[in-house]
Structure 1
Amino acid sequence: MFKIYGWLVYNGSLQSEKFLEINMIYKETAEKKGICLDLIKNNEIYCLIENGVCSVKINILKKNPDFVLFLDKDVRLAKQLEKLGYRLFNSAKTIELCDDKILTYQVLSDNGIKLPKTLFSPLMFYETDDNDFINFIEKEFKYPIVIKEAFGSFGQQVYLAENKEQLISLRKRLYLKPHLYQEFIHTSRGKDVRLHVVGDKVVASMLRVSENDFRANISSGAKMYKYQPPANFIETAIKASKLVGADFSGVDILFGENDQPIVCEINSNAHIKNIYECTGINVSEYIFDYILQELKYNERDITI
C-alpha cells in the first residue's frame, strides 16, 4: 500500500486533452515515487462558512491528504484549505502573487532584479475624463507600449499599442479592469526563456522564439528550443521564485541589453508538457522529490 496520499487540485473547467494529459503525467510520476495521487477538480470541493466555522466538503468521499498539489488559480479555495491545515504546494500566497502581475512586480521590486519599467492603471469604478493619464503614459513611455491585464494566461491578455490611437482604444477597453503599462524590450522581441525552478534549483529551461508575434508563447505559435541558461539567468530565476515564496515555478525572462536578464513574469502552476517535449526532462519528478523532502519522507519510508 501507498504510505503517502495527496490531492492534485486542478480547474474543473479545463477539460481539454492537453490539460488532462498534464494531470496524468503528475499522477504517473507520483505512483513511481510511492505516492497515491487523486485528481480532484476545484469545483468538486465546496468551501463553506457554517455557524461561523470554516469547512470544506467534497462530493466524492476522500480521506484527508498528506499534501495538496495545487495546480489551479482558485486562491480562495487554496486559502480555505490552508486555514483547515492542509499543506499546499504552492501556497495560497504564492498563487495570489503570481496570478496578479501587478502584485508580482511589487514584490520583485527593490530586490536587485531587473524589471521592465511598469505603470499600474489606477483602480476605477466608472469611466471619467482620462486625458491626464494618457498624457502621463506618453510622457513616461515610448511606442510601442506593452499593455497587460493583471490576470491572464498564455499571453492572451497581453497587447501592444503602436501609437496613440491604439493606446486610447486599449485603455478604453481595459479601463475597469486591473492592468498595467510597460516598456517594450526591443532586444527580446518575440523571444524569451522559460526556466522551471524547483526549490532552489533550475531543473529545466527552454528558449521560446516567435517569428510573427511580439510575444513568445507556445500557444501563440512560438517555437521552443533546448537552452542552457547563463549563470545570471539561473540566479535571477531562483531569486525571483524565492521572493514570491514558490515551492516550484516557471520564471519567464526577457533578454535585455547585452543579454541581461529581465524578469517578465512568474507562473505558480507552469505547464510541464512543453518543457518535457522540448528537453525530455520531466519536471514533475523534481516536484515530487521536493514534496517528499518537505514532508520529511525518504525512500525507506515509502512502500507500495
Structure 2
Amino acid sequence: MKLAILSRNSKLYSTRRLVEAARERGHSVRVLDPLRCYMRIESGAFAMRYKGSPVSGYQAVIPRIGASVTRYGTAVLRQFELMGSYSPNPADAVLRARDKLRAHQLLAAAGLGMPATVFGDNPDDTADLLAMLGPPPHVIKLNEGSQGAGVMLTEKLSASRGVVEALRGLYAQFLVQEFVAEAKGADLRCLVVGDRVVAGMRRKAPRDDFRSNLHRGGTARAARPTRAEQQLAVRAASVLGLEVAGVDMVRSASGPLVLEVNASPGLEGIEEACGVDIAGAIIRHVELRARPGG
C-alpha cells in the first residue's frame, strides 16, 4: 500500500510511530507537510503537487493536522479524497470534530450523554445565558482550542461574566459548560480505531489545576473502560464520522459524559501508559479499508 501521512513535523512521536508501523508491515509511506501541498481544481479533474513534484497514486492518507492549520489542511485532505485516496478521518469529519459547538450539537442530537452547554453571541444576553446553565462553577472553552489551551474554570458568577465579556471583546468563539465536580479533576480517554476501543487511560489533573491534559502537567495510567464507556466512545466517533479518535469523557453521578472527540489524538501518552501498539492498530485498520472493495 502506498500511504501518505499529513503532518507538519515528521519527528513528532505520533507521526514517527505511524511511519514505523507502516514500514514494519511492508508499506510505502511518506510524510507530507500539508502546507507544502498545492492543488489544481477543475471540473472532473483534480491534481496535486508537493515541492514541485506530482502527488498521485496514494491508496490511503492519514491526517495528523494541527488545529492551527485546520482549514488548509482539510482542503488538502479533501483533495486526496477527490483523487481516490481513502482516509480513516475524512476532511468533513475532522472539521466537525474541531468545531466544538457543532460537535456538541451533533452528539446531543444523537442522544449521547454530555455536560450541559450554553452558547450565545450578544453581550446583552450574558446574564440570561448563564442562568440557562445554572450556578457555577462553570467551565469556559474556546470553540477551537486544543490540549487544554483556552479552557478556564470560574467558581463565581461574577468571574463567569468577566471571562465571557473579555472573550467577546476579543471576538473569540466559546462555550460555557457545567462543571462535573464528582469527576475530581480526572477524565477517561478512549482511543477508538474502527468499531472498538483499543486502549483507555485515566488522566488526572495536577494539584493546582482542573485540566487533566498531559500537556498541562496531568498524569496518566492505564484504565479499563466499562462496556458502557466503550460503547459511548465508539458511538461518539461514529456520529462525527471518525474511524480513529480520542474520545474524552468523565464519570459522573448519572453515568459517563462525553467532553470532547479528538480527530488527531496523540499516541505517546496512551501508548506509554497502556503498552498498546496503537499505531499498528491504526495501520491494520487502514489496510483493511483501503483495499479495493474494502
Q: TM-score, normalising length from structure 1?
A: 0.86
Trace 1:102-251 onto structure 2 (pairs within 5 A): 102-122=101-121, 130-175=123-168, 176-210=171-205, 211-251=207-247
Instruction: Check conservation: 1:67, 1:88, Cα contact below 8 A.
Output: yes
Q: 1:22/1:119 Cα in 2 relative to 1: closer, same or farther (>3 Å)?
A: same
Judged with a 3 Å threshold, the aligned counterparts in structure 2 of structure 1 residues 271 and 255 are, in CA distance, closer, same or farther, namely same
- Residues 1:23 and 2:18 aligned together: no
| Partner Cα distance (2:100, 2:196) in 1 | 23
**Partner in structure 1 of residue 251 of structure 2:** 255
* 2:13–2:267 contact (8 Å) kept in structure 1: no
User: Identity across aligned pairs (percent)?
Assistant: 25
Contact 1:197–1:237 (CA<8 Å) still a contact in 2?
yes
Tell me how far apart the structure 1 counterparts of residues 43 and 61 of structure 2 sit (CA, whole Å): 26
TM-score by length of 2: 0.89
**Superposition pairs for residues 264-303 of structure 1, below 5 Å?**
264-296=259-291
Number of equivalences? 282
In structure 2, do the counterparts of structure 1 residues 51 and 91 end up closer, same or farther at CA, with 3 Å as the change threshold?
closer
Which blocks of at least 5 consecutive residues in structure 1 are unaligned? 123-127, 298-304
Residue 91 of structure 2 is matched in structure 1 by: 92
Contact residue 36 and residue 51 of structure 2 kept, 8 A = yes
Mapped pair 1:34 → 2:26 = yes
TM-fit CA distance, 1:139:
4.5
* Off by >6 Å, runs of 4+ in structure 1: 50-53
Task: Please give the per-residue CA displacement for 1:72-120, whole angstroms capped at 9, x wherever unaligned.
Answer: 1322222233233332221011101111111111111132311110112
> CA RMSD, aligned part only?
2.1
SS at match of 1:88: coil
> Contact between 2:138 and 2:154, CA under 8 Å: does it hold in 1?
yes
Separation of aligned partners in 2, 1:109 and 1:134: 24
Kindly state the Cα deviation for residue 53 of structure 1 after the two structures are TM-superposed.
Answer: 6.8
More displaced, 197-206 or 59-68? 59-68
Shift of 1:56: 2.8
Aligned to 1:5: 2
State the Cα distance separating 1:141 from its structure 2 match: 2.0
CA distance in 2, matches of 1:50, 1:173: 44
What secondary structure does 2:166 align onto?
helix
